[in-house]
């Protein structure tokens, strides 16, 4: 434990206070209600391992009620029929209300997910606001086009909202993922049922209340808290849900797709796992490259699907890079995420904490060498030291599997061809990073890597304008950008003859 600095509010001291928990019931048709069976589940503070709230546990019957509300709002309510400019004004008001509660919302994600409070306040919540405003700006710009025809026909397309959407939200970014799904669907004119992860239900319920205050009609946004195998499965298999958008593991993504196919053949959008490579060439600034690589695996304590968990460093700078990386990892400040000095908070829950530690054990048994870290940290809470493995092979589980924690595999390469080949040796294809000052190298590698987003001399550079999604087993469909708006729209072609014709 001496290898890592403790912040003033660390796991060894009294943690900062838990904020007031206002909303713990299901949100259906504009009202907070108990689940039909009256069951609840506990949400736990990962800093202290203590229960912070009991939340309503929605099940299939609750999903049925929520879907009926969303269907009524879509088929007969004003939201899909409203001029886009009017939806836009309401979404802007929603964004303003979120801004007014930024500290309270950041605190909820802090105690629910172990996220850094400062980052929540300055990055996560503002990014959600930015997405709302971005898609509010697009709501009145949805339109079709007039089509060219080889016959005497007039034809045009209409862009119409797809209908009732089921959103299944992961636990690692409760706010960003909520708005990444909800904002473009709102702009398109859809209604929806949102299921936040059972580990992090609190902020989604708060956002539902703010949406109502902003003027979003009842039934447009419904939030069902509960478990994936019950509430989530009911959404995926529901015959009156028109589309499902899921972010989570590849294993669960398969189940989502299967349920959608076996029900009403609803379309799905899947953003799944990743095992993203970061390739560092020998012309890079070693100190900056080491900082970038470390942030690439430790940001949000490694609980991010685009984490740069496989780092390849060209042999000319490898030894010095390794030294710099270890130095930086050892001074990483772990502690209470409310403390502004803390750089890394706790993993989201006990299950994830134990999974990460089990993978560290697997890596050691497979013959990899632990360069730094590898242990839990503190006397309570789900903290894990920044961990770097070397002497790693591509066939090891720690190199193949998505660990979803602060665990890096560090490897050496010689040539560009080798780097490209090894980077693509994965079933995933979500993201990649390239660090080089050579434009030709950057162009060649970025065009050769099979991944949905490639960052050159940066990492985690997201923007509402940038489409984001996966290749291969990292899923399909795109979040962010106008691509996300379009996936919530149906294209309808309307054809009229230009003159009377008996054969038309």
Per the structure block, which two tokens stand in for 98?
A: 């979120």
Q: What percent of the chain has pLDDT over 70?
A: 96
- pLDDT tens digits for range 114-169: 999 999 999 999 999 999 999 999 999 999 999 999 999 999 999 999 999 999 99
> At residue 464, what are phi and psi to the nearest 5 degrees?
-55, -25
Model confidence band, residue 372 (pLDDT cutoffs 50, 70, 90): very high
Pairing of strands 243-247, 164-168: parallel
The pLDDT of residue 3 = 44
pLDDT at residue 431 above 60? yes
Active site residue 271: yes
> Is 120 in contact with 109 (CB distance < 8 Å)?
yes
Model confidence band, residue 499 (pLDDT cutoffs 50, 70, 90): confident
- pLDDT tens digits for range 165-202: 999 999 999 999 999 999 999 999 999 999 999 999 99
Number of Cβ within 10 Å of residue 144's Cβ equals 16
Model confidence band, residue 286 (pLDDT cutoffs 50, 70, 90): very high
Q: In the predicted model, what is the mean pLDDT of residues 428-441?
A: 98
Query: What is the b/e burial string over 372-399, where b = at least 16 CB atoms within 10 angstroms of the residue's CB?
Result: bbbebbbeebbbbbbbbbbbbeeebebb
pLDDT at residue 9 above 50? no
Model confidence band, residue 18 (pLDDT cutoffs 50, 70, 90): confident
The pLDDT of residue 19 = 85
Report DSSP letters for 83-147, one per residue. Answer: -HHHHHHHHHHHHHHHHHTHHHHHHHHHHHH---HHHIIIIIHHHHHHHHHHHHHHGGG----EE
The residue from 271, 303, 322, 402 that is catalytic is 271
The pLDDT of residue 1 = 33
Closest CA to 134 of 499, 484, 420, 491: 484
Mean pLDDT, the chain, rounded, equals 95
- CATH 3.40.309.10 domain span(s) along the chain: 277-456
User: What's domain 277-456's architecture?
Assistant: 3-Layer(aba) Sandwich (3.40)
- pLDDT tens digits for range 291-307: 999 999 999 999 999 99
Number of alpha carbons in the 13 Å side-chain half-sphere of residue 231: 30
List, in sequence order, every beta strand (DSSP E) within 362-458.
Answer: 369-372, 376-377, 383-384, 387-390, 407-413, 428-429, 431-435, 453-456
Of residues 7 and 276, which shows the higher confidence score? 276
- pLDDT tens digits for range 219-254: 999 999 999 999 999 999 999 999 999 999 999 999
- pLDDT tens digits for range 321-351: 999 999 999 999 999 999 999 999 999 999 9
The pLDDT of residue 502 = 56
- pLDDT tens digits for range 373-405: 999 999 999 999 999 999 999 999 999 999 999
Per the structure block, which two tokens stand in for 249?
A: 């593991």
CATH code at 26-272+474-491: 3.40.605.10
- In the DSSP assignment, the letter for residue 81 is G
Handedness of CA 56, 57, 60, 66 (dihedral sign): positive
The pLDDT of residue 65 = 98
The pLDDT of residue 4 = 52
- The position carrying tokens 């539902």 is 208
3-state secondary structure 21-53: CCCCCEEECCEEECCCCCCEEEEEECCCCEEEE
Alpha-carbon gap, residue 495 to 149, rounded angstroms: 10
Number of Cβ within 10 Å of residue 150's Cβ equals 5
pLDDT at residue 278 above 70? yes
């Amino acid at each position: 434990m001496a290898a890592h600095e403790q912040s003033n509010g660390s796991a060894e001291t009294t943690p900062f206070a838990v904020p007031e928990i206002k909303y713990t019931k299901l949100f259906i048709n504009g009202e907070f209600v108990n689940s039909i069976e009256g069951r609840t589940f506990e949400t736990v503070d990962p800093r202290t391992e203590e229960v912070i709230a009991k939340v309503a546990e929605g099940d299939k019957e609750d999903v049925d009620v929520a879907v009926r509300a969303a269907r009524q709002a879509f088929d007969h309510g004003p939201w899909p029929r409203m001029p886009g400019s009017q939806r836009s004004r309401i979404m802007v008001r929603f964004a303003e209300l979120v801004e007014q509660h930024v500290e309270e919302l950041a605190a909820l994600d802090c105690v629910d997910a172990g996220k850094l409070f400062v980052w929540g306040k300055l990055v996560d919540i503002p990014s959600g606001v930015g997405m709302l405003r971005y898609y509010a700006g697009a709501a009145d710009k949805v339109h079709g086009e007039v089509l060219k025809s080889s016959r005497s026909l007039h034809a045009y397309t209409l862009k119409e909202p797809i209908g009732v959407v089921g959103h299944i939200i992961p636990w690692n970014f409760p706010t960003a993922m909520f708005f990444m799904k909800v904002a473009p669907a709102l702009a398109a004119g859809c209604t929806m049922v949102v299921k936040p992860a059972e580990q992090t239900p609190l902020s989604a319920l708060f956002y539902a209340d703010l949406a109502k205050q902003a003027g979003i009609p009842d039934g447009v946004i419904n939030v069902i808290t509960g478990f994936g195998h019950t509430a989530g499965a009911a959404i995926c298999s529901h015959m009156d849900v028109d589309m499902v958008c899921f972010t989570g593991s590849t294993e669960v993504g398969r189940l989502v797709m299967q349920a959608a196919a076996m029900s009403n053949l609803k379309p799905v959008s899947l953003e799944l796992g990743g095992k993203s490579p970061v390739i560092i060439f020998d012309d890079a600034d070693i100190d900056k490259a080491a900082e970038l690589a470390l942030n690439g695996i430790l940001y949000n304590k490694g609980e991010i699907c685009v984490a740069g968990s496989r780092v390849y460093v060209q042999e000319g700078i490898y030894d010095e890079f390794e030294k710099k990386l270890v130095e930086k990892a050892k001074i990483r400040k772990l502690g209470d995420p409310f403390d502004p000095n803390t750089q890394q908070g706790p993993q989201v829950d006990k299950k994830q904490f134990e999974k990460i530690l089990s993978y560290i054990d697997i890596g050691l048994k497979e013959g990899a060498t632990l360069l730094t870290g590898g242990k839990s940290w503190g006397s309570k809470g789900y903290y894990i030291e920044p961990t770097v493995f070397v002497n790693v092979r591509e066939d090891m589980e720690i190199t193949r599997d998505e660990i979803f924690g602060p665990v890096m595999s560090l490897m050496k390469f010689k040539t560009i061809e080798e780097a490209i080949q090894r980077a693509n040796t994965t079933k995933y294809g979500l993201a990649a990073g390239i660090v080089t000052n050579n434009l030709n190298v950057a162009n060649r590698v970025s065009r050769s890597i099979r991944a949905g987003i490639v960052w050159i001399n940066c990492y985690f550079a997201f923007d509402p304008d940038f489409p984001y999604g996966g290749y291969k087993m990292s899923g399909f469909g795109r979040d962010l950008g106008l691509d996300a708006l379009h996936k919530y729209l149906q294209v309808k072609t309307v054809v009229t003859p230009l003159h009377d014709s008996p054969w038309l």
